[in-house]
């Protein structure tokens, strides 16, 4: 009996010791370890490239969660490794400076295969745990890489193509920016985001494709077309495009609804869509509210088609007194050369009116609703191109002549 009692006590003692050990081990579990278990980081599921390497561990008194892609491409692997080291270094600095908190580092990536490249985005988030146990990100980092089928990192020119790269440079030149000191970029099939130390600019792919090659030191003129859109709009757009030119189409809002496809077509070809008001009324004899309605109605319908409000307005008949100009509240575009195509309705007369009176910086008035106007323009462009003229939109003429657009009337923009 004594032996049985002694055996039972021994078993009980072992159980107590084991229980005590388990209890003590629970007490010894660090807060970071508990948080790591109870509030793990949720990694991205979009990983269509590389072999994922995932890990989690305690470091610097906090939690580290890591997911990154492994690749045999040496240069790409080197960039990934450098990004990981940067994240870990920043985490160590943060943990040392925030000793009262439980720090957290999460390194993750997304990789998505596109038609001719893979978009790889590496990210890190450094922060701490809040009272509810959820992570709070305080420092963020990201690196965007674009890989070809050999897993080689592509530069921006490889993604855009040489022609679009040159067009982008032209857009940057106008803004006095350079790609030489570009720090990073984000590319997609819709847009490009360029980042410098203290500046960031976004260009849509449509905007880049529309950019033309213009030499600011050579003569340039702006052809403008009133009273459209109409059945000839696309023909006018194509004609100028053949000469690497762009025109400005001053459109009536009442016509836009019937020719939406033509408006969009001209816009995507790089031509400027501007406003000729809604209903072609004499603005000088209207009340302020009526003028506003004429302008605003046209703005709305044009914006519904091209996605942006017209930057320029041409008042019907060229009538815009100081009151009207202030209500329009943007550059009012008149002309320096009137072809009177509406009166002659003759291609030869239109051609002669242009060639006899043209000058560098001229803004030329035409109408896009007559076949004779199109034919006359075709004849004139052939000769003007031989003489070295470039054909630009009104906004481009302002930009290349380095004229800051103001709320006032413009008739021409000659060289300064």
Alpha-carbon distance 131 to 111, whole Å? 33
Residue 136 β-bridge partners: 128
Half-sphere exposure of 415 (CA within 13 A, CB side): 8
Alpha-carbon distance 290 to 281, whole Å? 10
Alpha-carbon distance 234 to 224, whole Å? 14
DSSP 349-382: HHHHHHHHH--TTBEEEEETT-HHHHHHHHHHHH
Q: Which strands sit side by side in the sheet containing 103-113, from one edge to the other?
A: 51-59, 62-70, 103-113, 118-129, 135-147
Q: Collapsing DSSP states into helix, strand and coil, what is residue 59?
A: strand
**Cα–Cα nearest to 212, from 153, 270, 296, 275:** 270
Q: Distance between the two ends of the chain, CA-based, in angstroms?
A: 118
Half-sphere exposure of 164 (CA within 13 A, CB side): 16
Q: Say which of 271, 276, 299, 367 is annotated catalytic.
A: 367
Q: Say which of 108, 226, 299, 341 is annotated catalytic.
A: 226
- The DSSP 8-state label assigned to residue 152 in this structure reads P
Cβ of 211: how many Cβ atoms within 10 Å?
Answer: 20
Q: Can 367 be counted among the known catalytic residues?
A: yes
β-pairing, 191-195 with 332-333?
Answer: unpaired
Q: Can 411 be counted among the known catalytic residues?
A: no
Catalytic machinery residues: 226, 367
């Amino acid at each position: 009996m004594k032996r049985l009692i002694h055996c039972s006590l021994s078993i009980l003692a072992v159980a107590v010791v084991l229980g005590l050990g388990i209890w003590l081990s629970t007490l010894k579990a660090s807060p970071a370890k508990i948080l790591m278990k109870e509030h793990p980081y949720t990694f991205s599921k979009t990983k269509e490239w590389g072999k994922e390497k995932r890990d989690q561990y305690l470091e610097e008194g906090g939690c580290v969660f890591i997911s990154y892609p492994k690749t045999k491409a040496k240069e790409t692997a080197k960039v990934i490794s450098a990004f990981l080291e940067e994240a870990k270094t920043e985490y160590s600095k943060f943990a040392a400076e925030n000793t009262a908190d439980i720090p957290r580092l999460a390194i993750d990536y997304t990789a998505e295969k596109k038609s001719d490249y893979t978009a790889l985005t590496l990210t890190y988030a450094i922060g701490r745990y809040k009272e509810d146990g959820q992570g709070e990100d305080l420092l963020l980092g990201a690196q965007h890489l674009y890989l070809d089928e050999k897993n080689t990192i592509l530069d921006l020119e490889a993604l855009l193509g040489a022609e679009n790269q040159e067009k982008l440079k032209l857009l940057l030149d106008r803004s006095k920016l350079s790609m030489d000191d570009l720090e990073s970029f984000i590319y997609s099939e819709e847009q490009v985001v360029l980042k410098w130390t203290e500046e960031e600019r976004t260009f849509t792919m449509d905007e880049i494709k529309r950019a033309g090659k213009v030499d600011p030191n050579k003569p340039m003129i702006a052809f403008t077309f009133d009273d459209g859109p109409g059945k000839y709009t696309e023909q006018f757009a194509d004609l100028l495009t053949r000469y690497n030119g762009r025109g400005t189409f001053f459109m009536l809002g009442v016509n836009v609804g019937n020719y939406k496809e033509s408006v969009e077509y001209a816009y995507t070809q790089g031509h400027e869509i501007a406003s000729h008001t809604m209903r072609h009324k004499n603005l000088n004899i209207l009340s302020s509210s009526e003028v506003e309605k004429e302008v605003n109605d046209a703005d709305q319908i044009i914006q519904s088609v091209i996605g942006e409000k017209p930057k320029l307005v041409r008042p019907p008949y060229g009538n815009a007194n100081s009151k009207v100009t202030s209500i329009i509240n943007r550059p009012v575009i008149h002309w320096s050369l009137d072809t009177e195509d509406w009166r002659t309705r003759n291609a030869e007369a239109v051609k002669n009116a242009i060639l006899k009176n043209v000058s560098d910086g001229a803004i030329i008035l035409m109408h896009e609703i007559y076949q004779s106007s199109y034919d006359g323009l075709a004849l004139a462009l052939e000769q003007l191109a031989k003489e070295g003229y470039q054909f630009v939109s009104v906004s481009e003429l302002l930009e290349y002549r380095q004229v800051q657009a103001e709320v006032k009337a413009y008739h021409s923009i000659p060289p300064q």
